[in-house]
Amino acid sequence: MRLKSDLFPSGAIEAARLAREAAMPFSAFGEQIRAFKLSPAQQAMEEVLRREAMLRASFYRYEMQDGFRAVSEFARMHAEQDQRWRAMFSPAMLEQAHTAAKLAQSFALPAVMEQFRTPIDPLAGKMLGLRSLDLVSQPAYIEAFARTSALSDVLSDSIRVGRELREATHAFARGSIPAFDTLGDYRNFLDAAGLRLPRWPRVRLLSAAEKRRRFRARLKEKAEPPHLKRAKSLVHRYELILRDILDAAMAETYGEDWAETRLPLCECKDLLGRWRKRGGDVLDHADYAHYSRIMSHSEHFDAVFEAGFDDPTALAELLAAAGRLRAASHHARTFTQEDLRDLRMTWTTIETGLLAFTGDYEIET
């Protein structure tokens, strides 16, 4: 006969025993928690937490009272400041400003600004900031002042650029401000209405020395970048070598007076005319279009330049590309590092063809 314990393998029974022993500490911990909740220590802790909550609530009440006192003090100081401000004016001026402010209420404002219309007393206080109250005896200036004051209130009440602010500024811009004699009068009008600039623009006469300093500073900003300097040096050297080889190759085939006899045949009479007028070497007066016409001319190409190039059209395209890049680098146009790459590639290709005009041997002495 087998016992119930024999129904399970011995390994399973051992695993269950280990699991029960592992769970025992957690069970013991739970018993300790339940015992703590029934102990006087738990009651003491709850009392401490309750007192702390009451103390925190009392501090909040005191903070609110302090806040109310601060607001009350600010209002009192503002009232006293306003009284001192109004004491600077005669009763007649105060009455004139108040009358003008009441009259301003009868002028219509743009619909989007109507809700921000400045009340009578604050508007009268703003009008006292004008250099002359005679301005607000004229309807055009009263309407403009009321509209400007309303916009300043819109800006003061806004914490972000929303639809109301955008519509109010657009409506204000569509209106007009009456003419004033000086910029200072404009500034006083806008400042008094509350539309203050942080810094009013001023006009200052520049001396000749300061103009020159500024001009030289601009010159420094336009300094050639390194890649442009390299491009100019590269073009200078390659073009001089091209002229030497072209002149030597044409002279070898057609004689030293090749310019006189061959330039008219390749549509280079303008180059011939410049040379005759100015003297020097004929190719000193040539540009890339002349190089192309001379070298890609059918007779010249077959007799001379086919030695280094297989197609006159391709040769003309190479020289045209070199000419465009040379113009960009030398004539204050936009010249990028990619242009320098293309310039190097173009001249390296031309160089490969010009190697055919370099002797294969030299005589050593």
Residue-wise pLDDT for 165-204, tens only, equals 888 888 888 888 888 888 888 888 888 888 876 665 667 8
Q: Is the predicted pLDDT of residue 65 greater than 80, yes or no?
A: no
Host H or E run for residue 22: helix 10-37
pLDDT at residue 26 tops 50: no
Q: How much is the pLDDT for 305?
A: 95
Which pLDDT score is estimated for 39?
Answer: 55
Contact partners, residue 288, CB within 8 Å, separation at least 6? 319, 320, 322, 323, 326
Task: Identify the pLDDT of residue 5.
Answer: 45
Sorted by where each begins, the domain ranges of the chain are 12-88, 91-193, 226-357
Which pLDDT score is estimated for 84? 66
CB 198 within 8 A of CB 191: no
Mean pLDDT across 134-154:
86
pTM above 0.85, yes or no: no
Q: How many CA atoms lie within 13 A of 98 on its CB side?
A: 9
CA-based R_g, the chain, Å: 47
b vs e for 217-248, b when ≥16 Cβ sit within 10 Å of the residue's Cβ?
Answer: eeeeeeeeeebbebbeebbeebbeebbebbbe
pLDDT classification of 249: cutoffs 50, 70, 90: very high
Residue with the bigger pLDDT between 199 and 126: it is 126
* Rounded-to-integer distance, Cα 11 and Cα 221, Å: 87
